[in-house]
Amino acid sequence: MKRIFVVFGTRPEVIKLAPVVRALRERGGVSLTLCSTGQHRRMLDDALDAMELRPDIDLAVMQTAQHPTDLLGRLLLSLRPALEECAPDVVVVQGDTTTVAAAAFAGQLHGAAVAHVEAGLRTGDRRRPFPEEINRRVTGVLADYHFAPTTRARDALLAENVPSEAIFVTGNTIIDALRWMRDRVADGPVSCGLRTDGRRLILVTAHRRESFGQGLRELCRALREIAERFADVRIVYPVHLNPNVQAAAREGLAGAERVELIEPLGYREFVALLASAHLVLTDSGGIQEEAPALGKPVLVLREKTERPEGVAAGVVKLVGTDRSRIVQEVTRLLCDPGAYAAMARGVDVYGDGRAATRIAEVLVDGRMQTPAFSG
């Protein structure tokens, strides 16, 4: 029986790995150990509840205002006894966090193969996003199984001399998770405690490290201007718990009419809110994938993205954090029905809902039986 050790530390990792865990359990023939590092404790616990997962091991490395260097050190030290005890054949990681890079390194040091879910995403700039681009490049060097969500991601790995037989184009598991949760949202009422009063809802998320400081201040100025200019708009901003984000949002948007700052939502509530949104402003990677699948135009608050497929399809646009540019692009979508319709197309450029099945097939049988995702 193959021993598989699944590591996650943040909310997106839980959401994107949950379909893989379910697919592995359905196939059987494996011994699964779920290890939580607790990199982002509160939001992580919310995601675990929403995705109906319970970790077997909780390393609880979270500390207030932790520096990535300190976090990396604690992760490596904490993972060692867990890996020694479980002696896994495969360590599964997802994405581009410090947890991912540390677990991939630790897994290799303990003789396990490393499987990287969402492999091959690249901006080509090590500082954008930081430290995510570095983390995923490091993990790409360490991984034995590269589960690329798209053909573009596969091509990026091939350009880095990753052997073609180690790359599997699966689609992104976020689409699997979104469809699973969308069905549950549709089954019953979900309330976020918000009222739009018939106004068009603009959903905002922003938390990337490279936006700290001036970038977040510019965003807040833009949101104020949009709210003042359009009386039929309501802006909802679930504010990340990072103190840098909290301080900028609370200071920059204090007293702004029709701008609602709320606590981070559980995934079930967030999917319901996303489904109700008119358009989305975000610097999140996952939301760049989820929103187009629900037909929501996305303006990305970054200069570069590792997910260019949505941009190429015309449903995502990069706008950065310049105040005037954000206001200009939001105004265009609010005032030009044609421009809005061109971006508000439900497209599955990132997956077909069968990514987890493909990954489980490879991990258990050594090959994909389901045809590769063609996106």
Structure tokens at 318: 């990069």
Told to judge if 218 belongs to the known catalytic residues of this protein, a careful annotator would answer no
Told to judge if 56 belongs to the known catalytic residues of this protein, a careful annotator would answer no
- Taking alpha carbons only, the member of 136, 146, 175 closest to residue 309 is 175
Distances (CA, A) of 99 to 9, 86, 114, 159, 198: 6, 18, 13, 25, 42
DSSP line for 29-55: SEEEEEEE--TTHHHHHHHHHHTT---
Told to judge if 217 belongs to the known catalytic residues of this protein, a careful annotator would answer no
Structure tokens at 315: 């449903």
Please state, in angstroms and rounded to a whole number, the distance separating the CA atoms of residues 291 and 295.
Answer: 6
Told to judge if 278 belongs to the known catalytic residues of this protein, a careful annotator would answer no
User: Bridge partners of 234?
Assistant: 201
Helix (H, G, I), strand (E, B) or coil at 208: coil
Given the structure tokens 């708009």, which residue do they identify?
A: 233
Among 209, 217, 325, 332, which one carries the catalytic annotation? 209
Contact between 90 and 6 under an 8 Å Cβ cutoff? The reply is no
Please state, in angstroms and rounded to a whole number, the distance separating the CA atoms of residues 166 and 122.
Answer: 18
Among 58, 132, 176, 361, which one carries the catalytic annotation? 132
Cβ-based neighbours of 31, under 8 Å, separated by 6 or more: 1, 2, 3, 4
Among 13, 46, 58, 118, which one carries the catalytic annotation? 118
Told to judge if 207 belongs to the known catalytic residues of this protein, a careful annotator would answer yes
Among 240, 258, 302, 358, which one carries the catalytic annotation? 240
129 upstream amide cis, omega within 30 of 0: yes
Given the structure tokens 């959903």, which residue do they identify?
A: 203
Cβ-based neighbours of 236, under 8 Å, separated by 6 or more: 194, 201, 202, 203, 204, 260, 262, 273
Among 96, 260, 269, 352, which one carries the catalytic annotation? 96
Told to judge if 96 belongs to the known catalytic residues of this protein, a careful annotator would answer yes
- CA 110, 111, 112, 116 torsion-angle sign: positive
Catalytic residues: 96, 118, 132, 207, 209, 240
